[in-house]
Structure 1
Amino acid sequence: MTQITRIAIAQRGVPRVSETFLLAHAEQLPGVTTVVHHVGRAPAENGKPWISQAVGPRAWRKLGRMFTGRPWSWEVTSGLLNAFRHRRPDVVLAEYGINGVAVLEACRIAKLPLVVHFHGYDASAHKVIEKYGAEYTRMFSEAAAIVAVSQAMRRALIDLGCPDEKIVVSPCGVDCEQFRQADPGDAGEIFLSVGRLVDKKSPHLLLLSFSQVLRARPQAKLRVVGDGPLRGVCDDLVVGLRMAHAVELLGAQSHEVVVREMATARAFVQHSVTAASGDSEGMPVAVLEANACGLPVVATRHAGIPDVVIEGETGLLVDERDTEGMAREMLRLASDPQLARTIGGQARRRVIDRYTMRHSIERLSRVLSAAANHEPIHPVKWAIDTELAVTTAESREAV
C-alpha cells in the first residue's frame, strides 16, 4: 500500500484539553500538512484566516454571493479551497460529523477524498441529527470512509443511513508512557472519577452510588476531577448527603494531576448515560487511561465502554442509572484489594495489546492511506476488526 504523504485535518475549533485524541491526530499522524480550524466561521491555520477578514474583501465577497446566489457557507468553502491549494493534501480528515458537512463541498470541488471521524454527540444528540440529518446523508454518500470509535456508534451511524461498508470502527488510544502502572491493591479505598460534569457523565448519579458505599465503608473516599454545568448540583448533593468529609470535587486539572490521582486510587468510576438530549459518549478516553494505569473500572454498559471493558476481567459494568448496582460493584473493590489488583493488571495488559496511542494512530493512518490512494476501505475495515479481536456475531456482521 502506498504511503500517504499529505493530510489536511479540519477541526471546528481549537480542541479542549480533554480532547486528547484530536491533539494526538494533529501531532502524531504522519504527513499532516495543515490543521484548519473554524475561527468564528472562517477557516484558519494557527489563528490566521485563509480568507481576508478586512472590510473591503469581505464586502466584495458579499456582493459576489448576492450576484451568484451562493449561501454564506461559500465563505467557509472558499477558505478551505485556499488552504487546500496552498497545502496540497492528498486526503482530508474531518474531526466530528458536523465538520465533515462543513468541508464536504470544498473536498468535492478540489476532488479530495474525505474521511470523517465521528466522536460522540455528533452521532447521537437529537438537535444535531435534526439539523444535519439530511446533510449527513449526502456526506455518507460522498465520503471515502467514516470512522466510528465504537460498535454502538457504528450502529447509530447505520441508523442514520451510513452504508455499513464505509464504517471503520477504530477506538481511541492512550499514552501508556504517561499513564503508567499503578498498584490499586496498595491504595486506600479511594475512588476516582475524571470527566466533565455534564448530563451524559451523570456525576450526580455517581454521588448517589457513593453515598451508599459510604454507609457501608465510612473510610471510603471519592475524588472527582472535572468541571461543567452540573458542578452546582454536585456541590449541593455533597452537602445534602453529608459527604463533604469524603468527597472532593477538584475541578478541571492537568493531565499530570490526573496521572497522580490515578496512582493513588483503588478504582476508577464513571456512570455514563444517554442524556435526555440524546447526547452520549463515543469512547470515554478516561476509561482507557485508567485501565492503562492498571486501575479496575466500574462503569455503565454505555456506548463504547463495553467494547474496551470486559466484564469481570478488566472492569465491572452495570446498567445505566443503576445506582445500587454501581454501589455494589464499588463495594466489592473497596473490600477486596487483591481483586482490584488482579482486574487492574488485566486491564493494563489489554490496553497495551490493543489501545495504545500508537495503535490508534496506525489504524487511522491506514484508513487515510486507503482513501488517499482511492483503494477499497473494506480490507482495512476487516483487518482492524480482526486485530481488535472482535468476535461477537454482531461484529462479524459489521465486516
Structure 2
Amino acid sequence: MKACIVVGTYYSPGQTFVNRHIEHLFGGNTLVISDDINDLRPVDARFLNRSDVTPTAVDKLFAPFQKAYSHISQGTKRVPYGPDRSRVISFLKLHKPDVILSEFGPQGVSMAKVAQDMGIPMFCYFRGSDASSRVRHKHVQRAYRLMMPRLRGIFAVSQFLIDNMAAHGVVHPQSVVIPSGVDIRRFFPETKVPNSCLAVGRFVEKKAPLLTIKAFAEALKHHPDASLTMIGDGDLLEPSRALVAELGIGDSVDLPGALPHDDVRKKLVQTEFFLQHSITANNGNTEGLPTAIQEAMAAGSITVTTRHAGIPEALDQGETGFMVEEHDAIAYNAAVLQAMSMSVENKREMAQKARQVAVERFDNAQLLIKLEQEITRAIAAK
C-alpha cells in the first residue's frame, strides 16, 4: 500500500513521529504533500511543495472570492484552489496513493475535500493543540465537523483528545487512539546518576518550567547532591534562568537551551527523575500524550508530573511515577521530594515498571504496525 502524508512543514526535526511515518509507513512507500519545504533534508519527486507556485493575475483577482467560498462551504480558507489545487491533483494522479494521512487537524481540513473528490480514502491524526486550543474556536469546530464525513477515520495520541473534540461536537465513528510512541531500542536505561533530574520541552506556558525549578529548589534543600537539566528553548527560558539565579541554585541547574535529539537521549538514559509540570494554557492549549514522558519511561526514568490531558493514560500513580493536580505547587514539591527520598530498591523497582509499560504500550515499531493495520482494516471495511 502507498500512503501520501500531508504535513505543514518538511523537514521539522522536532516532529519525530511524523518523520517516522514518512520514512517507515508501509515500508517507506510514501509521498509527501507539504505546505512548505525547507532545506534541512533533501527531497525528490515524491515531495510536493504547495508554496512553490506562482499565482496568476487572475488567481490573485479571484483569491478573495475563492477563499470566501471555501470558508462558507467548507469552514476554512485553507483549501487548495487554482494552480495549487491543480498541482495537488496532478501529483496525486501521478503517484496514485492508496490512502492519504494528514498529520494534524489543519492539514486534514485543507486536504479532505480534494481526497473526497478524487475518491482517495483519507485519515487525520490529532496530536495536541489541534484538538485542544484550536477546537475552542467556532470556525475550527465548523471546519472539523464538515471534514469528518469526508474521512475514513481519525487517530489521536490520547483518548483525552478524542473526548475533548467530542465535547465540542466533533466526532467520527472510526476514532482510534495510537500514541506517538518511542524507539524502545534506543531509549534503553543505563546507569543512573543519583538524584539527577531532567526536563525536556519548550519553555512555554503549558510546560510551567518555573514551577519545576521551584520544586527542584525545595528538594535541593534535602538532597544537596541533586542536579537538574532543562533542555529546550522558548519565551520562558530567560525568565527561568533569572529564577535560577534569584534562588541561588545555579551550581545545581543547567539550562543549555535546545539540543539535538540524540543528545537528549544520551542525557535521559542516565537520568534518575524526569520532571514535567504540564498545565492547560490560558488559550486552552494542552498536551496530547507527551512523547518526552514516553521516552522517559522507556529510559527507566521516574516521572513526576501532573494529571493533565493524556498523561494519566500512560502513568500509574505510585507505580510508574507520580502525578499531582495542575498548578498544585505544594503537592508537586512534595512529589519531587518523595521521589528523591525513596530507597534505592524502590527507585529501581519503579524504574523497571516504567520501562516495562513503555515496552508493552509505547514501542513505536508496534504502534506503526497498529496504524497500518487500522488503515488497512478501515479501507477494506468500506
TM-score, length basis structure 1:
0.85
State the Cα distance separating 1:170 from its structure 2 match: 1.1
Provide the C-alpha distance between the structure 1 equivalents of 2:358 and 2:202, rounded to a whole number of angstroms.
23
Query: How far did 1:126 drift?
Result: 4.7
Query: CA separation in 2, counterparts of 1:142 and 1:222?
Result: 47
C-alpha distance in 1 between matches for 2:180 and 2:204:
21
2:73 alignment partner in structure 1: none
Change (3 A) 1:96 1:287: same
Q: 1:45, 1:318 → 2: CA distance?
A: 49
Work out whether 1:85 is the aligned partner of 2:93. yes
Match of 2:349 in 1: 342
* Aligned residues of 1:226 and 1:251 also touching (Cα < 8 A): yes
CA-CA distance at 1:318 after TM superposition: 0.9
Contact 2:23/2:30 (<8 A) preserved: no
2:57 aligned residue: 59
Distance 2:10 2:64 in 1: 31
Equivalent positions of 1:104-183 (< 5 A) are 104-126=112-134, 129-163=137-171, 165-183=173-191
Given the superposition, is the C-alpha separation of residues 359 and 48 from structure 1 closer, same or farther in structure 2, using an over 3 Å criterion?
closer
DSSP 3-state at the match of 1:174: coil
Shift of 1:48: 5.3
User: Is it true that 1:34 corresponds to 2:51 in the alignment?
Assistant: no
Q: Distance in 1 between matches of 2:364 and 2:51?
A: 34
**Superposed displacement of residue 83, structure 1:** 2.0
Among candidates 19, 22, 32, match of residue 23 of structure 1: 19
Question: In the alignment, is the contact (CA less than 8 A) between 1:51 and 1:79 conserved in 2?
Answer: no
1:227 deviation in Å?
0.8
Q: CA deviation at 1:61?
A: 4.1
- Post-superposition Cα deviations, 1:37-95, rounded to whole Å, max 9, x if no partner, equal 1028xxx97775468634xx633544676898966741443332122111111111000
Question: Counterpart in 2 of 1:393?
Answer: none
1:294 aligns with 2:300: yes
Deviation at 1:16, TM superposition (A): 2.9
Supply the distance in 1 between the matched residues of 2:198 and 2:338 (Cα, whole angstroms).
Answer: 15
Task: Confirm or deny that 1:351 pairs with 2:337.
Answer: no
* 1:220 Cα deviation after fit: 1.5
Partner of 1:274: 280
AA of the residue aligned to 2:9: G
1:307 paired residue among 313, 318, 324: 313
Note the C-alpha offset of 1:340: 2.0
Q: Partner residue of 2:74?
A: none
C-alpha distance after superposition, 1:144-176 (max 9, x if no partner):
101111121121121122335221111121101
Conserved in 2, the CA contact under 8 Å of 1:77 and 1:105? no
CA distance in 2, matches of 1:354, 1:99: 27
Structure 2: which amino acid aligns with 1:339?
N
Any stretches of 5+ residues in structure 1 without a counterpart? 377-399
Quick check: 1:22–1:95 contact (8 Å CA) kept in 2?
yes
Q: Residues 8 and 342 (structure 1 numbering): CA distance in 2 closer, same or farther, change over 3 Å? A: same
Partner of 2:41: none
Q: Give the number of equivalent residue pairs.
A: 364
Q: CA RMSD in A?
A: 2.4
**Amino acid of the structure 2 residue aligned with 1:201:** K
Distance 1:51 1:148, change over 3 A: closer
Identity %: 30
CA contact (8 A) 2:34 2:48 kept: no
**What is the CA–CA distance in structure 1 between the aligned matches of 2:213 and 2:45, rounded to whole Å?**
42
Higher mean C-alpha deviation, range 272-281 or range 360-369? 360-369
**How many Å separate the matches in 2 of 1:153 and 1:181?**
30
2:110 aligned with 1:102: yes
Aligned counterpart in structure 1 of residue 377 of structure 2, from 370, 374, 389: 370
The answer on whether the counterparts of 2:153 and 2:172 sit within 8 Å (CA) in structure 1 is: no
Give, in whole Å, the separation in 2 of the partners of 1:9 and 1:223. 35
The 1:18–1:340 alpha-carbon spacing in structure 2 relative to 1, beyond 3 Å, is: farther
- Give the AA of the match of 1:8: C
SS of the residue corresponding to residue 189 of structure 1 reads strand
CA displacement at 1:128 relative to structure 2: 6.5
Q: Give the aligned partner of residue 196 of structure 2.
A: 190
Aligned-partner Cα distance in 2 for 1:89–1:153: 28
Is the Cα–Cα contact under 8 Å of residues 238 and 247 in structure 1 kept in the other structure? yes
Query: 1:157/1:277 Cα in 2 relative to 1: closer, same or farther (>3 Å)?
Result: same
TM-score using structure 2 length: 0.88
Q: Tell me which residue corresponds to 2:258.
A: 252
Please give the alpha-carbon distance, in whole angstroms, between the structure 2 residues aligned to 1:108 and 1:217. Answer: 60
SS of the counterpart of 2:271?
coil
* Separation (CA, whole Å) in 1 of partners of 2:315 and 2:135: 30
Query: 2:267 aligned to 227, 241, 261, which one?
Result: 261
CA distance in 2 between counterparts of 1:119 and 1:15 reads 18
- Deviation larger for 310-319 or 70-79: 70-79
5+ residue gaps, structure 2:
38-43, 71-76
